[in-house]
Structure 1
Amino acid sequence: MHQKKNFLDPPKILVLGFAAIILIGSILLTLPASTTNGQGLTFLNAIFTATSATCVTGLVVVDTGTTFTLFGQLVILFMIQVGGLGFMTFATLFALLLGKRISLKERILLQESLNNLSMEGVVRLARRILIFTAVIEFAGALILSIRFSFEMPVGKAIYYGIFHSISNFNNAGFDIFGHYQSLTGYVGDPTVVLTICSLITIGGIGFIVMNEIFEFRSSKRLSLHTKIVLITSSLLLIGGTIGIFLFEFSNEKTLKPLSFSGKVLGALFQSVAARTDGANTLNIAEMSQTSLLLIVFLMFVGASPGSTGGGIKTTTFTTLVGAIWSQIRGKEDVIFFRNRVEYETIYKALTVSFSALFLVFTITMLLTITERGTDFLKLLFEATSAFGTVGLSMDLSRDLSPLGKMLITFTMFAGRVGPLTIAFAITMRRNPDSFRYPKGKIMIG
């Protein structure tokens, strides 16, 4: 007797949940009250913007600061917050406020949403995530509001501080300065640069890592996951900063006109932002091809599991590097900090990486058809940025054809919910094999 399949299993619910938020946001952005011209966005531009906000990407086809009214900007900000934390975290918040008990099914969904290894303590983790988010975003908003108050009215400075704190902690990178300038006016400003970098970095390491760091004073231990996230993130940040600094040092259109401290801040910001945030202090389109390829790599790797960022994730990248190093050394096991990585984890890392490569390759190839005459590096950069939910662009997003916008919209969605989650959501539940075939040999290399 076959057990009845549950159509709405966790991956399907997560995909449908994100899709529902995007649809509602798209409808709101088409309303006349959302845009300054009183006409609302076209549905294609609205769904592109809603997907970019909900999937915390930051790619835009219209200028956020000048196109949208306060209502439209608040709709975008709400989608960024829900998309960054995950709708299940918000659902848990409302349930807790109403005194409702969290059911087993909801706990499973929350575990899947947070990418947590265990269901144990998942509600407590969700509660802490909300507290962490409120405290960090408030601190960021306070610092930015004070800084912006020196050049704009206090009320406007507070709003700008709140908007950019939420946007960058959730690794979205939307800005409201207008005219597609992002943060280029603050390239040498240590207060703005270091505050935004801190928000992006904290949001990108993942809530599980945040929680472990918070508990370190009492536990005196960090898990293997947290150690790998912190070390890999640090190496990518330092390596990216040094690379961009060296490659752009003599570029007249980026770092060369700046002071030495300005060059360091500019390189640091683009290294941090390349990991999954769409803000920029340098003109991306004017950067050297070497720097752009480095940024493509950083965007592809992305942030860490259970964070507000995208990409294949730092742990996936490190697991693959560890597997390659073990093969080169002739070792059977992959070892990190005297811990052996299970083969299932290595297979998953390979699957995630290959799926991501296939997606970026396919979307880039399709863009060469829909965007004929456009430089290939621009297309690769755009596709990788969309997959990694980064939001950096070589000034291509707003010039995309309707088909190109649809391709990038799908890529942002796939990059946020994950290629594997989408695959699981549209296929049957995986069943273990009842038997195994005999081994076969294949020549490799």
Structure 2
Amino acid sequence: MLDKGLFFISLIAFISVIVEAGFKLPEWATDSIQFYYLICIFSFIATLSVRVITTFLYGKSTKKILFSEYFLFAILVIILFFHWLVPEGEESKLIIGGIASDLSIIRFHVIVLFIIEFSKRSLQFQKLDLNPAVLFTGSFLLLILIGTLLLMLPKATNNGISLIDALFTSTSAVCVTGLAVLDTSKDFTHFGQVIILILIQVGGLGIMTFTSFFGFFFKRNSSIENTLFIQDFINEKRMSKIVGTTLKIIGFTLFLELLGAILIFLTINEQMSEPGEAVWFSVFHSISAFCNAGFSTLAQGLYDPVVRQVYSLHLIISALIILGGIGFPVIFDVYNSFKYTFSQRFYDWCGESKYRHKGRHLTVHTKIVLVTTTALLVVGFAAYLWSEQHNTLAGLSWYEKIIVSIFGSVTPRTAGFNTVDMTQLAMPTILVYLILMWIGASPGSTGGGLKTTTFAVAVLNTLSIAKHRPRVELFRREITNESVRKAFSVIIMSFLVIGLSVFLVTLYNPEMPLIAVAFECFSAFSTVGLSLGITHDLHMFSKIVIIVTMFIGRVGTLTILVALIRKAKTHTYQYPHESVFIT
């Protein structure tokens, strides 16, 4: 009962934070909201205190109260009582009844409290008896809707925003695409940019991954139902590893984004006029790059004169894009392989190698992703360097040409950043970009597109047919028939979605060049975010088409089909085989 009450109290407090940040309120309303923050914090302290007292009185195990809750409890107590004697009249200070606390810290903890309470209940979603595909799709729809409402708050934009533009921006951020109908740097306030960044972060990893992380971290227990339900969202087949994998995904993401932000700050600190501006630029672009979003706080993106020639920044952004798009299963598999190799060498050095089992290192999935990603990066680099000699690379030194070509090969892989004027690209480069955008990133990553493994399996199957082989074999393993069928299904569905999108956009914007429209639709489906400069001029219905295309590309065509179509019953009979003429 106490937990339910605390959830509703934290929910009201969270809404109050949004209202206070998004609207211009009279002074009495602001004071009331700030007083309610204290009620929320005191409620949490009281609830946890009752839990602690009950635990000791009835002799139950104290492990039911997690260290994280004790830590948060201590922080809140320090906030309320350590700053008791703070001078009155100081800005951003809350003084009620002699208690003084920094408002920003209080708001932060109110948000954390709501996330904790909401996440605890998110693990109970399996009781709704919904298909995981339905819940996955619904979570993105819900996040897009919430983002749309938040972006329409008065304080989120400088000159207001229409419903369709707010929906477009929210979808682009949640689906980590990067297409923008408004200038992120000029049209959105700092509060609006924070909303976009949160949507990028949560959308890049998936809202179910985030809520599962906090739910596992702060909930006292995790049932078998919870772990089985989360299994499909994080691509983890071993049930015993689900909780650990969820924590690793969040931990690795935050660590890498923090490291990227530090490196970016050290790189561009001299180019920025103020340290605060440099910090915000670093954090925003680190998260946007790792999540393969492509949003930027500069009007011209990385083509802006301030950072256009900061090539070390381009390399850092490229590294973040690759790591974010290669997929968490691959990263963890490579890490485990290095760990295994190191331990093997250690036992060899100790003379105990004969007692150690030498198993297989990398999985076939990891090898396919690494080989395909490397091949696409090399081909993209060579194609860009060759076709742009007299266009975007003209007048640059060889060092600059190599860096720009590397970035030009990385960014179509669902990233969306640009260090050149996209309207000046040569036609061969645009065609190569269409292919790279269509293939996209790897499964289990923050990127979209067809996926590298889908493309690789389709190519391998084609080669097997040409060689009259009955099976698809690679690295001394046989690819399952189910994987081959899924690969061709995804390819067919991608062509249908992109083709229909191109048709509808040209129907509502017949004045636009076909190549620019096709580029826009490929970019939307593969959640890339690159554009040839037509996004701002799209008709309202064309924007809706692009919104739907971005959503389908991020969630996945097969996921949507599974969510919409009821599973067929398994039949015990089998019809006679008969061939169909294909060629």
TM bin, normalised by shorter chain, reads: over 0.9
Aligned residue runs from structure 1 range 28-177, under 5 A:
28-37=150-159, 39=160, 41-152=161-272, 153-177=274-298
Q: Which amino acid in 2 is paired with 1:157?
A: A
Identity of aligned residues (%): 37
Structure 1 pair 135/294, CA: closer, same or farther in 2 (3 Å)? same
Aligned residue runs from structure 1 range 341-420, under 5 A:
341-420=479-558
Higher alpha-carbon deviation: 328-337 or 422-431: 422-431
The aligned residue for residue 292 of structure 1 is 430
2:186 is paired with a residue whose SS is helix
What's the offset of the Cα at 1:443? 0.8
Q: Which amino acid in 2 is paired with 1:240?
A: G
From 319, 328, 333, give the equivalent of 1:198. Answer: 319
Structure 1 pair 102/380, CA: closer, same or farther in 2 (3 Å)? farther
The aligned residue for residue 210 of structure 1 is 331
When the two structures are aligned, how many residues end up with a matched partner? 436
The aligned residue for residue 21 of structure 1 is 143
Q: TM-score, normalised by structure 1?
A: 0.95
* 1:245 partnered with 2:385: yes
* 1:307 partnered with 2:427: no
From 362, 368, 373, give the equivalent of 1:228. Answer: 368
Counterpart-to-counterpart distance in 1, 2:308 and 2:554: 28
CA deviation vs aligned residue, 1:284-338 (integer Å, no higher than 9, x gap): 1210111001001000000000000001100000001100111111111111111
Structure 1 pair 356/105, CA: closer, same or farther in 2 (3 Å)? farther
Contact 2:216 2:243 in 1 (8 A): no
Counterpart-to-counterpart distance in 2, 1:109 and 1:52: 27
2:185 is paired with a residue whose SS is helix
CA deviation vs aligned residue, 1:111-138 (integer Å, no higher than 9, x gap): 2222344444122111111111111101
CA RMSD of aligned residues (A): 1.5
1:177 is paired with a residue whose SS is coil
Aligned residue runs from structure 1 range 323-338, under 5 A:
323-338=461-476
Counterpart-to-counterpart distance in 1, 2:303 and 2:242: 36
User: Who wins on radius of gyration, i.e. which is larger?
Assistant: 2
1:434 is paired with a residue whose SS is coil
Counterpart-to-counterpart distance in 1, 2:290 and 2:240: 26
Counterpart-to-counterpart distance in 1, 2:438 and 2:456: 13
Counterpart-to-counterpart distance in 2, 1:269 and 1:422: 33
Contact 1:187 1:266 in 2 (8 A): no
Higher alpha-carbon deviation: 101-110 or 203-212: 101-110
Counterpart-to-counterpart distance in 1, 2:287 and 2:371: 26
What's the offset of the Cα at 1:181? 3.7
Counterpart-to-counterpart distance in 1, 2:523 and 2:158: 28
Unaligned runs of 5+ in 2: 1-126, 342-360
Q: Which amino acid in 1 is paired with 2:429?
A: S
Contact 1:184 1:280 in 2 (8 A): no
2:478 is paired with a residue whose SS is strand
Counterpart-to-counterpart distance in 1, 2:256 and 2:312: 16
CA deviation vs aligned residue, 1:192-212 (integer Å, no higher than 9, x gap): 111000000000010111111
Aligned residue runs from structure 1 range 416-427, under 5 A:
416-427=554-565
Contact 2:298 2:304 in 1 (8 A): no
Greater length-normalized contact order (CA 8 Å, ≥ 6 residues apart): 1
Contact 1:92 1:102 in 2 (8 A): no
CA deviation vs aligned residue, 1:207-231 (integer Å, no higher than 9, x gap): 1111112212333411110011111
Unaligned runs of 5+ in 1: none
Q: Which amino acid in 2 is paired with 1:86?
A: G
2:395 is paired with a residue whose SS is coil
Counterpart-to-counterpart distance in 2, 1:119 and 1:52: 33
What's the offset of the Cα at 1:97? 3.1
Contact 2:434 2:522 in 1 (8 A): yes
What's the offset of the Cα at 1:426? 1.3
Contact 1:146 1:157 in 2 (8 A): no
Counterpart-to-counterpart distance in 2, 1:182 and 1:408: 24
